[in-house]
Amino acid sequence: MKYICGLVLCFISSEVVAQSICGPRAELILRLWDKWQEAQIAHGLVNDNQLMEVFANKSGSWTILITDPSGVSCVAGTGKNWTVTKPITPKEKAL
């Protein structure tokens, strides 16, 4: 299975999802806040109406959650140095 996550491409095999941290969305969101002070900064729909959310904190730590229609969420990726930038078109980048 593949997920396309807005501006971030998240290619995830079913094996990776099976090994990911999964659980009720509300519990994972609370854990992200309690442990890393990560709050939702972006979201969108992918694939079969799955919710993709990006959570980040002020220091740049980030987590991507994918939630299925039943409310089960899985961590699709984590990292550091999240930066919000102004969208740049290919023509602007070439200049």
More confidently predicted of 93 and 18? 93
Model confidence over 23-49: pLDDT tens digits?
999 999 999 999 999 999 999 999 879
Q: Which pLDDT does position 95 carry in this prediction? A: 60
Residue type, 74: C
Q: Residues 40, 45, 50, 56: what is their CA dihedral angle, to the nearest 10 degrees?
A: -20
The model's pTM is 0.74
**Percent of the chain topping pLDDT 70:** 77
Alpha helices in the chain (DSSP H): 14-19, 25-36, 90-94
Closest CA to 42 of 54, 58, 30: 54
pLDDT reported for residue 17: 43
CA distance from start to end of the chain? 37
Contact 33, 53 (CB under 8 A): no
